[in-house]
């Protein structure tokens, strides 16, 4: 099974790269793990414009002039984990809610009417609120309404992921939050999420279950973003070798204000985030790169065509928030509050096409 290199060693290694290493990496047709370390290093910062140009060319070649759109549906904010950075943490005194199947379907119908064809079902990690039976029932209700239904819930077994795949779930997103094992213990105080290794193995279990797409990523702001980026590259490289028929994505959630008022331990600037996105695009031309509404509209508009391939739009992070704008208990505050159509217009102004659908559920039924 995958084990990332020692995080502290990666942090030190990245500081040793030189201008020559960066220029070699930029001249490669396909940068390797050594090269991406150089592209993530401080030595690469003066080359950010060149990295953006190469990233744009690769993205256009692989994905065309398109940006896929999706929206999350928060099913529940109950959580049994104590994560010091999360608004859903069991320690936080927020209004808790778990949507009924009918309420969840109503939220989905609102998004369907707005034009969304790809949705992401999100919940806190509390099996007594959101279990496999609940998720299977929702998947069956929604699979014929949407082209793709993804999930971001508590880690499951391979058997449970396969069960949800048969019910109509197309993809799984599970973020390690941080690959820094020592820090992981300090920010995940209790609950099943405190098991670093079980969470680390989750993407492989989802891929082994037959999911057509698996998403990974760090929570930017907890640890050294450069070492997190190199750890992602190692993880992605390993997953590609083991599960060649599975599509993979990487997300870049930067910490946003949330209940509990946890401050980022190592803030990540927009420039840092851009360097990380460009480096990963050069390293893996085919990986899907997601930028969510955590980021400000200005930044998201500026990144269209430069590397990201998928944007969320019109997002609400509180259960029931689409049907009731006064819903409480959000996971974090969003940075881009524009509607789907406003985001689409920004994409079109850049000369790109907003894509509502790039998959059909019928393919899954016959797989």
Q: What is the mean pLDDT of residues 70-76?
A: 96
**What pLDDT, in 10s, does the model give residues 211-222?**
999 999 999 999
Report yes or no: 63 and 309 within 8 Å, Cβ to Cβ. Answer: yes
SS3 state at 177:
strand
Of 50-54, 59-63, 335-339, 350-354, least confident by mean pLDDT is: 335-339
Q: What is the pLDDT of residue 37?
A: 98
Q: Across the chain, what does the average pLDDT equal?
A: 94
**Is pLDDT of 257 > 90?**
no
User: What is the pLDDT, as a whole number, of residue 334?
Assistant: 80
247 within 8 A of 212, measured Cβ to Cβ: yes
**For residue 365, pLDDT beyond 60:** no
Q: What is the pLDDT of residue 360?
A: 64
DSSP 8-state secondary structure symbol assigned to residue 201 = T
Question: What is the tens place of the pLDDT at every residue in 107-148?
Answer: 999 999 999 999 999 999 999 999 999 999 999 999 999 999
CB atoms within 10 A of CB 17: 22
Instruction: Determine the pLDDT at residue 123.
Output: 96
pLDDT of the residue at 309? 97
d(CA 22, CA 250): 23
Which of 116, 6, 163, 97 is closest to 318 using CA atoms? Answer: 97
**Local structure of residue 331 (DSSP, 8 states):** S
Task: Please tell me the pTM assigned to this model.
Answer: 0.94
How far is C-alpha 22 from the geometric centre of its chain's CA atoms? 27
pLDDT surpassing 70 at residue 359:
no
CATH numeric code, 7-365 = 3.20.20.70
Tens of pLDDT, residue by residue over 163-178, are: 999 999 999 999 999 9
If pLDDT is split at 50, 70 and 90, which confidence band does 187 have?
A: very high
Query: Rounded to an integer, what distance in angstroms lies between the CA atom of residue 304 and that of residue 55?
Result: 11
Give the CA radius of gyration of the chain. 19
Mean pLDDT across 185-206 = 97
Going by pLDDT thresholds of 50, 70 and 90, the confidence category of residue 303 is very high
Q: Running DSSP on this structure, what letter comes out for residue 5?
A: P
Asked if residue 302 has pLDDT above 70, the reply is yes
Q: How far apart are CA 333 and CA 318, in angstroms?
A: 10
């Amino acid at each position: 099974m995958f084990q990332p290199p020692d995080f502290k060693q990666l942090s030190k290694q990245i500081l040793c790269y030189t201008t020559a290493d960066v220029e070699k990496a930029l001249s490669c047709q396909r940068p390797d793990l050594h090269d991406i370390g150089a592209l993530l290093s401080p030595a690469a910062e003066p080359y950010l414009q060149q990295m953006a140009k190469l990233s744009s060319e690769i993205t256009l070649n692989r994905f065309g002039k398109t940006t896929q759109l999706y929206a999350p549906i928060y099913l529940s904010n109950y959580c049994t984990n104590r994560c010091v950075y999360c608004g859903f943490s069991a320690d936080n005194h927020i209004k808790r809610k778990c949507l009924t199947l009918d309420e969840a379907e109503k939220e989905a119908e609102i998004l369907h009417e707005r034009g969304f064809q790809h949705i992401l079902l999100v919940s806190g990690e509390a099996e007594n609120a959101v279990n496999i039976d609940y998720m299977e029932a929702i998947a069956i209700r929604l699979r014929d309404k949407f082209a793709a239904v993804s999930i971001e819930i508590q880690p499951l077994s391979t058997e449970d992921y396969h069960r949800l795949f048969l019910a109509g779930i197309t993809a799984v997103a599970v973020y390690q939050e941080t690959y820094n094992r020592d820090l992981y213990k300090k920010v995940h105080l209790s609950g099943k999420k405190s098991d670093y290794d079980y969470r680390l193995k989750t993407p492989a279990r989802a891929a082994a279950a037959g999911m057509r797409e698996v998403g990974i990523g760090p929570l930017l702001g907890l640890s050294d973003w450069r070492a997190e980026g190199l750890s992602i590259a190692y993880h992605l490289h390993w997953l590609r070798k083991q599960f060649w028929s599975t599509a993979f994505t990487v997300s870049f959630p930067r910490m946003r204000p949330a209940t509990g008022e946890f401050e980022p331990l190592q803030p990540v600037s927009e420039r840092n985030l851009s360097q990380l996105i460009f480096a990963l695009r050069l390293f893996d031309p085919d990986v899907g790169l997601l930028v969510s509404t955590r980021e400000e509209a200005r930044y998201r508009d500026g990144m269209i065509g430069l590397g990201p391939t998928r944007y969320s739009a019109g997002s609400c992070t509180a259960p029931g928030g689409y049907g009731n704008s006064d819903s409480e208990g959000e996971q974090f505050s969003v940075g881009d509050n524009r509607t789907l159509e406003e985001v689409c217009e920004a994409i079109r102004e850049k000369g790109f096409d907003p894509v509502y659908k790039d998959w059909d559920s019928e393919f899954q039924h016959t797989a």
